[in-house]
C-alpha cells in the first residue's frame, strides 16, 4: 500500500456506506428500499439529497467516498451513461485498492457478465457517455478499467433472487455484520487486553500472535486493530487469507516464498507488477520504515519465514500481527506475545446471533427461548452464530425447533454449504388470524410487492403474494391489497383475482385496499371502456379509498403509507389515542432518578393496558441490553414455571458455559447475571403479585438504568411489587371513540363517513372502553343506518375478562360488588357505606379493594361502575340464581310484578334485594307477599319518572315486613301506617315519600340502626315522636308534611346533622335540644309560619340561622342556650310576636342585628356569658316591654343603650361580672 499521511486515512468513518447509483433508474424505486433497510439496521449512509450533480461537487463526493467504510455500487442499465457515476466508480475502486475499502456491487436487472463482456445495452449506454470525449482517452480508459474490476467482485444480482426484498435484507445484514460486529461487539475488551502486548510507545519491533480456532473472530479483531492503528505508521498492509495465497503443490519452496513476498510488497507499497529476484528485497525495502503488518490466517512456518523472518527486516516501532489457529507455529517462530481469543461471552453471543437472525439486538416475542438455545449450541463461536442466525432468519417457530434439533446432531456443516432460504406458505401459517393477501401482476411480485409483504411481516401481519386460493379461504383473511398496474389490464388471470376479491368484500365486508402503481385513476377510466367484461370490477375498485404512486413519493414511502393505513384499519385500537398516553408514560419514566425505574399501568379490562405496554416496549426496547415482554404473565408462569420462563427470556445471559443449555436451579444465578445488565421487563396482566415478585427477584436483580413495567387491573399488585409510579389508563374520549368504532365498522376515518351516526346506546354503553368499541364496531359492519339501532346487544365476550378479578374477591367483597352492580351504581359513597355497614359487611375496606381491582370507581363522592362491569355483575347474580334455584337480587319489573301479585317461586327465602321501578305499573299487592322473604335486606319501590306514578294497591293491607330490612324505600306507600309487628331493629334508612302515612307504627320500636328518615310530602302525617328515640339518626326530611303539628328532638339525637322542615306549615313547636351535630337549619325553615316555639338549646355545631327565619312571624320563643359556635342572628330576625330570646352561653356572638328593634314585645332577653358581645344595638331601646334582662359576665360589653321612655316593666336586671366602667342609662337607673 502506498504511503499516506494520517489525514488521508482518518481513524473514524463519517459514513458506513457510500451508495453510487444512477438516479433515474433506481432512486425512487430500488434505492429507496435499500436506504430504508439500512436505516432499520442502523447503517449510516451518505445521501446527496437529490442534488443536481455538478463537477464542482465531485470533490465533496470524493471526500465522502474516502470517509465511508463501504461503497455499494448499484449497476443499472443506464449507470454507464453517466460520467458522474463513472467518475465515482473510479474513485471507489481507487479506495478499494489503496485503502482496502470494501466494495459491494449490486447488479440491478443485470448480470455481472453484462458489465464485463463490453457489449449489449449496458455498453451501448457507455458509448453514449464517451461521445464527444475523444480527447479524453485517459479518463475513458479509467472508466473501462473500473467497470471491469467491479464486475469481478462478488456481489448481488436481482436476476438471481426471486424476492427483491430478501436480497436487500441480505445486503443490509451483510453490511451490518461488517459494521457492527467486525468493529463493535466485544472489541473494547479485546483492545484492552491487546494494549500491553502492542506497547505502542516502544521503539522495538514487536510481533504479536492472535490465536484461536476457526470462526472465533481472529480476522475481525485484526481488522479492527488495523483500522484503529494504521494512521500511526508510515506504511501498512493487511495480507488476508495467507493460507489461501500460498501454493500447496509447488515443486519449489523458494518460488512459493518469493511469490508471497511479491504479493506482500505490492500490498504495502501500492505498486503493481513488482519484480523481485531474491528473498532479501523485502528487508531492503522496509528495514527503515515504521510499518504495521497483519498476516492473516497463517498455517505454515514457511509463510512466516517468507514474510517476517526477523524483526530486523522492519524499521523501529513496527508491529507485525499474525493470526493463526496453531500455537506451535507461533512458538516455533519465537513469538512471545500471544493473545488467545476466548469464546464469546453469552451476552455477546446473543447479540451476534440476534442481529443475524432477527435483524435487531434482541429476539422477537416468543423466540427468546429458542434463540438462547441456539446461541448456547453455537458455543460462542461468532462464525457459527452468524451462519446459524442467517439460516434461521425469517423462518417459522416450527422450523426453528426442527432445525435446532438437527443442528444439535451436526446439521451446521450442511447449512454452511447448502443454505435454504425459501419460505413455504403452509397450512399452519394460513391459519393465522392476521393475514393479508397481496394481488399484483407477475412483473411486480418480486419487486414492489415483496417490499410490501416484508413491511407487513415486520408489523406482525402474515402477508402472501398472489396466492391461488379458493373463495372460502380468501373470505377468512383479514384484508386484501390489490396492486393495479398496466400489466394487470392485459392479464385475464389478474383481473379474475380482482373480481374474486371484490366478491369477498361484498359477502364478508373484508377490507380491500387498492394501490394504483405507475398509473392514475383516470387511466383506469380509459381501460374500463376497453375491457367491457371487467368494467364493473374496475369501477368498484376505482371508488374504494386507496393509494397511488406519485412523482414526489419514493416506493419506500409509498410502502410505509400503505402499511400504516392497513394496519391502522385492521387494529384501530392499537394507535387511536396512543400517542398522548405514551407521552404521559414517558413523563413518569423521566421523573424517576437513574437506577432501576418502574411503572405500573393500571385500568379495567379492555381499557388498553396491554396495547399501551406493547407500544412502550416497541418504542424503547432497542435501547436496552436485554428485554422481554411476557403477555398473560400469570398464565405463562403457572404453565411453564419460573426456571423455564427465565431460561426462555434471559437464557442467553444466564448460560454459564458455551454449549451448555442447563436449567436454572440456583436462585442467585439470575441476580448474578442480570445485576450488570440494563434490562427492560414488561409483565402483562399480573394478578398475583407474589408470582411477579419471584420473577423480578424483588426488582434488585437488574442493573442500573433498567425499567420494569407491570400491567394489572389490581392496584395492590403494584404496592406488593414496590411500584409507586402508576399510570391509570383513561377511557377514550368521545372523538377517539367515534374514530375507533368507525375504523372497526367501516375501515375508514370517521370524517369520511358523512352519513354515519353511531347509536347513542353504543357510545354510552362502551363509555370509551376500546375493546367494547371494537366489538361493537365489528357488529355494526355492513349495517345500514336504519339497522344500526337494532344491532345494539350487550357483548358477552368481554364479560369473560372480568371473571378472574371477581374470583379473587372474598365473600364479603363479592357481596358488596354484587350489591353495587345490581342496586347502588351512581349512589353517594357514604350512603352506600351506611347501608352495607348495616348488613354487617366491611364496606370501607371492601369498596377500596373493588376500586383497586378496577371494578368500581369513586368520582365526585359517588360509587360508579362501567356499564359493562355492571352487566357482568348482574350476570353473575343471575348465574348464582340458576345454581341456587332462586334469585337473590331482583330489579326487573316484570319478574317482581309476578312475585308481588301472587307468584310463589322456589327459593323466595333467598331473596336479598328488590328494586322495583314501578313507573306505569298498576296492580294489587297481596298482604303476605313478604312473609317468607326472611333474608330481604333492601326493598325499594320507586318511580323513575314522576310523570308516570304507579298504582301499587294494598286493598287487604300489609301483614308483615322482613326483620332483616336495612333499606325500606316505598314511594306512594298507600297505607296509614306500617305493619304493627314490623321490627325495624336493622333498619338503616326509612324512605317513604308521598305516602299516606298518618303515623309510622304503634308503640316504641328499636331504632338503634336508623340513620336516615325521609317522609317528605306525606301530607297526612301527624305523629312521628318515635323517631326521637333513634339515637344514631343523622338526617330527617319532613318537607311538605303539612299536618305535622310538632317535632321534638331530644338530647339523644347527637348525630343529627340535617333537618328539612320546608312547608311544614302546621308546625307549632319544634325542638332540637342538645342535637350537638346539627350544623344548620334548611333555608326554607321560615315557611313554618305557625311556629311559636323553637328550641335549639345545646346545638353546639350550629353557626347561624337561615335568613328565612324572618318569615316565622308567629315565633314567640327562641332558645339558643349554649350554642357556643353561634355567630350572629340574621338581619331579617325580629318580629312583633317575639317575647323570649335566650342567648345564654353564645360565646361566639359578637352583636345583635339592628332588626331587633321590631321585637317591640320582647319581654325576656338573656345574654349571660356572651363573652364576645361588644355592645347592644341602639334600636333595642324600642323594646319597652322588657321584664328580664340578663347581662351576666359579658366581658366585652362597655355600653348599654338608653331605652326610650322609662323601663317601667323591668322586673329583673342581672349585671353580675360586668365591668365597673359600664354605665347604666338614666332611664334604667330611674326604673330600678
Catalytic residues: 88
DSSP string, 827-895: SBHHHHHHHHHHTT--HHHHHHHHHHTTS-EEETTEEE--HHHHHHHHHHHHHHHHHHTS-SEE--HHH
What residues have CB less than 8 Å from 847, skipping those under 6 apart?
Answer: 816, 820, 829, 832, 833, 856, 858, 863
Query: What are the cell numbers at 906?
Result: 322456589
Question: Taking CA 342 as the corner, what is the angle to CA 339 and CA 343, rounded to the nearest 5 degrees?
Answer: 155
C-alpha cell at 461: 401481519
Q: Number of helices (H) and strands (E), helices first, in the chain? A: 46, 39
Residues in Cβ contact with 426 at an 8 Å cutoff, skipping those fewer than 6 apart: 396
Residue 1178: which of 1161, 1203, 1159, 1160 has the closest Cα? 1203
Return the bridge partners of 597, or none: 707
Residue 879 CB-density burial (10 A; 0-12 exposed, 13-18 middle, 19+ buried): exposed
* Cα gap 655→652, rounded to integer Å: 6
The C-alpha cell that represents 788 in the structure block: 344500526
Task: Determine contact, residues 862/977, Cβ cutoff 8 Å.
Answer: no
Strand order in the sheet with 547-548: 462-465, 435-439, 479-484, 511-516, 547-548
Distance separating alpha carbons of residues 510 and 569, to the nearest angstrom: 11
Closest CA to 158 of 448, 555, 484: 448
User: CA-to-CA distance for 1160 and 1138, rounded, in angstroms?
Assistant: 8
- Output the CA–CA distances (angstroms, integers) from residue 220 to 181, 182, 186, 480, in the order listed: 8, 5, 11, 46
- Separation CA 139–CA 1177 (nearest Å): 117
552 — phi, psi (to 5°)? -85, 0
Beta-bridged to residue 513, according to DSSP, are: 481
**Nearest Cα to Cα of residue 655 among 355, 213, 348:** 348
Q: Please tell me the distance from the alpha carbon of residue 197 to that of residue 191, in angstroms, as a whole number.
A: 10
> What would the grid cell of residue 100 be?
482496502
CB 994, CB 946: distance < 8 Å: no
- At CA 1003, angle to CA 1002 and CA 1005, rounded to 5? 110
Q: Which of 389, 43, 18, 64 is nearest to 184 (CA)?
A: 43
SS (H, E, C) 183-208: CCCCHHHHHHHHHHHHCCCCCCCEEE
Number of Cβ within 10 Å of residue 241's Cβ equals 11
Task: For residue 554, give the nearest of 35, 22, 21 by alpha carbon.
Answer: 35
C-alpha cell at 661: 443449555
> Which residue's C-alpha cell is 433498567?
706
Q: Which helix (H) or strand (E) holds 411?
A: none
CA-to-CA separations, 631 to 192, 610, 685, 711, in angstroms, rounded:
41, 8, 7, 10
Q: 549: which 3 cell numbers?
A: 404512486
Q: What is the CA radius of gyration of the chain?
A: 46
DSSP class of 756: -
Give residue 74's Cα distance to chain centre: 42
Q: Which three cell numbers stand for residue 170?
A: 441480505
923: β partners: 952
Query: What distance in Å separates the CA atoms of residue 935 and residue 438, rounded to the nearest whole number?
Result: 65
Amino acid at each position: 500500500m502506498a504511503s499516506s499521511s494520517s489525514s488521508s486515512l482518518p481513524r473514524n468513518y463519517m459514513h458506513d456506506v457510500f451508495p453510487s447509483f444512477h438516479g433515474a433508474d433506481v432512486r425512487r424505486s430500488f434505492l429507496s428500499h435499500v436506504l430504508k433497510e439500512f436505516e432499520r439496521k442502523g447503517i449510516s449512509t451518505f445521501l446527496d439529497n437529490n442534488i443536481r450533480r455538478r463537477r464542482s461537487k465531485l470533490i465533496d463526493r470524493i471526500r465522502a467516498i474516502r470517509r465511508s467504510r463501504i461503497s455499494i455500487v448499484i449497476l443499472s442499465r443506464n449507470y454507464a451513461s453517466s460520467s458522474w457515476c463513472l467518475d465515482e466508480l473510479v474513485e471507489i475502486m481507487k479506495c478499494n485498492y489503496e485503502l482496502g475499502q470494501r466494495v459491494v456491487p449490486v447488479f440491478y436487472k443485470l448480470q455481472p457478465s453484462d458489465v464485463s463482456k463490453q457489449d449489449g445495452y449496458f455498453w451501448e449506454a457507455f458509448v453514449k457517455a464517451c461521445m464527444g470525449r475523444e480527447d479524453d482517452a485517459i479518463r475513458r480508459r479509467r472508466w473501462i478499467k473500473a467497470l471491469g474490476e467491479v464486475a469481478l467482485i462478488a456481489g448481488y444480482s436481482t436476476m438471481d433472487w426471486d424476492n427483491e426484498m430478501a436480497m436487500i435484507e441480505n445486503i443490509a445484514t451483510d453490511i451490518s455484520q461488517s459494521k457492527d460486529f467486525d468493529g463493535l461487539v466485544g472489541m473494547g475488551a479485546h483492545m484492552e487486553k491487546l494494549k500491553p502486548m502492542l506497547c505502542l510507545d516502544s521503539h522495538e519491533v514487536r510481533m504479536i500472535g492472535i490465536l484461536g480456532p476457526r470462526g472465533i473472530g481472529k480476522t475481525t479483531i485484526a481488522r479492527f486493530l488495523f483500522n484503529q492503528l494504521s494512521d500511526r505508521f508510515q506504511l501498512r498492509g493487511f495480507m488476508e487469507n495467507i493460507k489461501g495465497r500460498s501454493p500447496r503443490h509447488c515443486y519449489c519452496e523458494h518460488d512459493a516464498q518469493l511469490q508471497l513476498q511479491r504479493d506482500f510488497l505490492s500490498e504495502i507499497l501500492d505498486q503493481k507488477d513488482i519484480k523481485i529476484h531474491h528473498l532479501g528485497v523485502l528487508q531492503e525495502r522496509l528495514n527503515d520504515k515504521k510499518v504495521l503488518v497483519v498476516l492473516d490466517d497463517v498455517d505454515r512456518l514457511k509463510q512466516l519465514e517468507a514474510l517476517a523472518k526477523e524483526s530486523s527486516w522492519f524499521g523501529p516501532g513496527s508491529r507485525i500481527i499474525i493470526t493463526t489457529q496453531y500455537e506451535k507455529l507461533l512458538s516455533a517462530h519465537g513469538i512471545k506475545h500471544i493473545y488467545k481469543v476466548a469464546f464469546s461471552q453469552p451476552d455477546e453471543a446473543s447479540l451476534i446471533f440476534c442481529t443475524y437472525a432477527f435483524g435487531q439486538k434482541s429476539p422477537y416475542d416468543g423466540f427468546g427461548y429458542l434463540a438462547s438455545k441456539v446461541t448456547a449450541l453455537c458455543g460462542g463461536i461468532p462464525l457459527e452464530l452468524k451462519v446459524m442466525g442467517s439460516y434461521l432468519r425469517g423462518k417459522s417457530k416450527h422450523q426453528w425447533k426442527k432445525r435446532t434439533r438437527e443442528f444439535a446432531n451436526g446439521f451446521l456443516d450442511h447449512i454452511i454449504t447448502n443454505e435454504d432460504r425459501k419460505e413455504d406458505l403452509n397450512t399452519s401459517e394460513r391459519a393465522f388470524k392476521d393475514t393479508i393477501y397481496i394481488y399484483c401482476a407477475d412483473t411486480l411480485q418480486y419487486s414492489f410487492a415483496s417490499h410490501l409483504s416484508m413491511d407487513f411481516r415486520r408489523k406482525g401481519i402474515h402477508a402472501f403474494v398472489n396466492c391461488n386460493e379458493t373463495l372460502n379461504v380468501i373470505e377468512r383473511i383479514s384484508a386484501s391489497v390489490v396492486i393495479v398496474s398496466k400489466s394487470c389490464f392485459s392479464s385475464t388471470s389478474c383481473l379474475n383475482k380482482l373480481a374474486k376479491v371484490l366478491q369477498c368484500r361484498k359477502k364478508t365486508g373484508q377490507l380491500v385496499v387498492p394501490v394504483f402503481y405507475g398509473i392514475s385513476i383516470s387511466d383506469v377510466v380509459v381501460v374500463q371502456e376497453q375491457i367491457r367484461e371487467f368494467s364493473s370490477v374496475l369501477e368498484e375498485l376505482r371508488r374504494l379509498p386507496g393509494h397511488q404512486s406519485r412523482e414526489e413519493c419514493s416506493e419506500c414511502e409509498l410502502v410505509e403509507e400503505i402499511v400504516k393505513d392497513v394496519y391502522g384499519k385492521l387494529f384501530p385500537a392499537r394507535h387511536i389515542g396512543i400517542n398522548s398516553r405514551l407521552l404521559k408514560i414517558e413523563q413518569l419514566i423521566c421523573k424517576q432518578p437513574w437506577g432501576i425505574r418502574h411503572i405500573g399501568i393500571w385500568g379495567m379490562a379492555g381499557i388498553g393496558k396491554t396495547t399501551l405496554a406493547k407500544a412502550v416496549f416497541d418504542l424503547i426496547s432497542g435501547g436496552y441490553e436485554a428485554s422481554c415482554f411476557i403477555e398473560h404473565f400469570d398464565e405463562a408462569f403457572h404453565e411453564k414455571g419460573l426456571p423455564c420462563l427465565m431460561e426462555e427470556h434471559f437464557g442467553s445471559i444466564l448460560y454459564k458455559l458455551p454449549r451448555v443449555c442447563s436449567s436454572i436451579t440456583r436462585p442467585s444465578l439470575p441476580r448474578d447475571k442480570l445485576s450488570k445488565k440494563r434490562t427492560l421487563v414488561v409483565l402483562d396482566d399480573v394478578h398475583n403479585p407474589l408470582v411477579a415478585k419471584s420473577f423480578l427477584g424483588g426488582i434488585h436483580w437488574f442493573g442500573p438504568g433498567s425499567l420494569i413495567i407491570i400491567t394489572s387491573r389490581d392496584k395492590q399488585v403494584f404496592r406488593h411489587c414496590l411500584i409507586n409510579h402508576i399510570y391509570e389508563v383513561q377511557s377514550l374520549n368521545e372523538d377517539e371513540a367515534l374514530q375507533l368504532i368507525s375504523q372497526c365498522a367501516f375501515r375508514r376515518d370517521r370524517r369520511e363517513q358523512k352519513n354515519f351516526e353511531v347509536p347513542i346506546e353504543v357510545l354510552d354503553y362502551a363509555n370509551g372502553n376500546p375493546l367494547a368499541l371494537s366489538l361493537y364496531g365489528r357488529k355494526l359492519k355492513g349495517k345500514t343506518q336504519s339497522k344500526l339501532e337494532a344491532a345494539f346487544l350487550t357483548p358477552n365476550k368481554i364479560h369473560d375478562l372480568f371473571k378472574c378479578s371477581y374470583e379473587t374477591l372474598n365473600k364479603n367483597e363479592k357481596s358488596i360488588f354484587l350489591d353495587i352492580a345490581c342496586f347502588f351504581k351512581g349512589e353517594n359513597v357514604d350512603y352506600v357505606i351506611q347501608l352495607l355497614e348495616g348488613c354487617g359487611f366491611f364496606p370501607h375496606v371492601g369498596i377500596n379493594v373493588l376500586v383497586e381491582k378496577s371494578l368500581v370507581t369513586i368520582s365526585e363522592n359517588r360509587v360508579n361502575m362501567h356499564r359493562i362491569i355492571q352487566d357482568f355483575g348482574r350476570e353473575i347474580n343471575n348465574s348464582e340464581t340458576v345454581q341456587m334455584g332462586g334469585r337473590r337480587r331482583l330489579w326487573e319489573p316484570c319478574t317482581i310484578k309476578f312475585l308481588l301479585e301472587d307468584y310463589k317461586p322456589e327459593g323466595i327465602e333467598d331473596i336479598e334485594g328488590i328494586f322495583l321501578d314501578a313507573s306505569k305499573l298498576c296492580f294489587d299487592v297481596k298482604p303476605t307477599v313478604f312473609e317468607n322473604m326472611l333474608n330481604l335486606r333492601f326493598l325499594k319501590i320507586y318511580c323513575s319518572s314522576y310523570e308516570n306514578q304507579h298504582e301499587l294497591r294494598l286493598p287487604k293491607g300489609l301483614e308483615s315486613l322482613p326483620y332483616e330490612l336495612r333499606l325500606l324505600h316505598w314511594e306512594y306507600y298507600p297505607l296509614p301506617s306500617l305493619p304493627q309487628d314490623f321490627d325495624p331493629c336493622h333498619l338503616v334508612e326509612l324512605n317513604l315519600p308521598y305516602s299516606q302515612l298518618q303515623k309510622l307504627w304503634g308503640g316504641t320500636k328499636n331504632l338503634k340502626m336508623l340513620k336516615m328518615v325521609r317522609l317528605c310530602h306525606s301530607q297526612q302525617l301527624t305523629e312521628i315522636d318515635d323517631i326521637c328515640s333513634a339515637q344514631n339518626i343523622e338526617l330527617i326530611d319532613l318537607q311538605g308534611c303539612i299536618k305535622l303539628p310538632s317535632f321534638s328532638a331530644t338530647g339523644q339525637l347527637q348525630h343529627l346533622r340535617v333537618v328539612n322542615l320546608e312547608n311544614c306549615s302546621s308546625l307549632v313547636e319544634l325542638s332540637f335540644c342538645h342535637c350537638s351535630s346539627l350544623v344548620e337549619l334548611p333555608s326554607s325553615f321560615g315557611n313554618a309560619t305557625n311556629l311559636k316555639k323553637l328550641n335549639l338549646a345545646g346545638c353546639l355545631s350550629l353557626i347561624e340561622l337561615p335568613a328565612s327565619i324572618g318569615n316565622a312571624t308567629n315565633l314567640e320563643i327562641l332558645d339558643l342556650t349554649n350554642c357556643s359556635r353561634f355567630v350572629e342572628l340574621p338581619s331579617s330576625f325580629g318580629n312583633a310576636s317575639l317575647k323570649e330570646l335566650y342567648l345564654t352561653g353564645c360565646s361566639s356572638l359578637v352583636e345583635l342585628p339592628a332588626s331587633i328593634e321590631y321585637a317591640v314585645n320582647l319581654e325576656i332577653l338573656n345574654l349571660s356569658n356572651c363573652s364576645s358581645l361588644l355592645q347592644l344595638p341602639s334600636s333595642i331601646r324600642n323594646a319597652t316591654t322588657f321584664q328580664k334582662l340578663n347581662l351576666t359576665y359579658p366581658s366585652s360589653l362597655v355600653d348599654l343603650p338608653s331605652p326610650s321612655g322609662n323601663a317601667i316593666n323591668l322586673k329583673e336586671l342581672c349585671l353580675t361580672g360586668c365591668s365597673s366602667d359600664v354605665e347604666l342609662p338614666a332611664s334604667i337607673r330611674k326604673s330600678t
